[in-house]
Amino acid sequence: MTDRALAVVRAGALTTMQDRGRPGYAHLGVPRSGALDPYAAALVNRLVGNDAGAAVLETTLTGCAVRPRCGVTVAVGGAPCPVTVDGRPVAWGAAVRVGPGAVLEVGAAVRGVRSYVAFAGGVAVGPVLGSRSTDLLSGLGPAPLADGAVLPLGAPPADAAHYEGVPWRGVPREVVLGVRLGPRDDWFTDGALRTLTTCAYRVSAASNRVGLRTEGPPLERARTGELPSEGMVLGAVQVPPDGRPVVFLADHPTTGGYPVVAVVREADLAAAAQAAPGTRVRFVRAR
């Protein structure tokens, strides 16, 4: 077993391939996609000497297990989780050497939702519109991992710098999302805007890569009826008929007809990506 590939032993609840995504195609109805926690994805790539945009595996809650067919340097980061090689514990958040035929087990997240797995050389599936990201909404890119699948690995970087460790963001117990009101905040009462920016919400179990759904006080409309479909952006806080805000994440639709009361700062969305069901969420006005 010397070819540069890995076999999927356990796909987990949802494991996808992600990189920086495919921005610039919203006019064609194609979402950006890409890693929901881009900081974690960039850091695991840095640990194994890759460019920050190399394709990594993004796991969801339950991790995954893979068997490289060649020796490869690997790093696991993002949501903290146990990591083993052939049953022996190894470091999370650091570069680890995995021998040919050994099983790398990425365990269930201890805190947070999404862990990231980088391999020296990156996962080398064919790009679609310039990206190797799995887009769950449009179906573009590689399919989510399945048990028994075989994925190619790229050539390891020549003379790449490796790092013993990097600073990791912690997973907050409460997620604070800075927002700028609009463009359709005038569709809501003054009381609804106060509710949005002063009351606490919780992450719904119905959340996914498309959007973070919330549970909490509904936002009261000042207008009836619906908007014609209009363009949507990453971080848009859309309010469906039940009044509970939905924060659009990387696989969001590019158009929508429900009013957008606010937009979350892009820098805060990585925290939203790591918010498990039940996590407390606050929306605050960005300065």
Nearest to 249 by CA among 273, 280, 231, 230: 273
Question: What is residue 281's predicted lDDT score, i.e. its pLDDT?
Answer: 97
Question: What is residue 169's predicted lDDT score, i.e. its pLDDT?
Answer: 77
Question: What is residue 165's predicted lDDT score, i.e. its pLDDT?
Answer: 66
Residue by residue, pLDDT tens for the chain (287 residues) are 459 999 999 999 999 999 999 999 999 999 999 999 999 999 999 999 999 999 999 999 999 999 999 999 999 999 999 999 999 999 999 999 999 999 999 999 999 999 999 999 999 999 999 999 999 999 999 999 999 999 999 998 876 666 666 677 778 889 999 999 999 999 999 999 999 999 999 999 999 999 999 999 999 999 988 899 999 999 999 999 999 999 999 999 999 999 999 999 999 999 999 999 999 999 999 87
CATH 2.40.100.10 fits 174-285, yes or no: yes
Q: Is the peptide bond before 183 cis (omega within 30 degrees of 0)?
A: yes
Structure tokens that stand for 106 in this block: 């990425």
For residue 278, give the amino acid letter.
G
Question: What is residue 172's predicted lDDT score, i.e. its pLDDT?
Answer: 81
Question: What is residue 246's predicted lDDT score, i.e. its pLDDT?
Answer: 98
Q: What is the dihedral of CA 193, 194, 198, 203, to 10 degrees?
A: -30
Q: Could you please report the per-residue DSSP string of 8-77?
A: EEE--S--EEESS--TT-GGGT------SSHHHHHHHHHHTT--TTS-EEE--SS-EEEEESS-EEEEEE
Question: What is residue 157's predicted lDDT score, i.e. its pLDDT?
Answer: 83
Structure tokens that stand for 197 in this block: 């920016």
Per the CB < 8 A criterion, the answer to whether 50 and 122 are in contact is: yes
Question: What is residue 166's predicted lDDT score, i.e. its pLDDT?
Answer: 67
Question: What is residue 158's predicted lDDT score, i.e. its pLDDT?
Answer: 79
Question: What is residue 154's predicted lDDT score, i.e. its pLDDT?
Answer: 96
Per the CB < 8 A criterion, the answer to whether 260 and 246 are in contact is: no
Q: Which residues make up the CATH 2.40.100.10 domain(s) of the chain?
A: 174-285
Distance between CA 148 and CA 139 in Å, rounded? 21
Question: What is residue 1's predicted lDDT score, i.e. its pLDDT?
Answer: 43
Question: What is residue 239's predicted lDDT score, i.e. its pLDDT?
Answer: 97
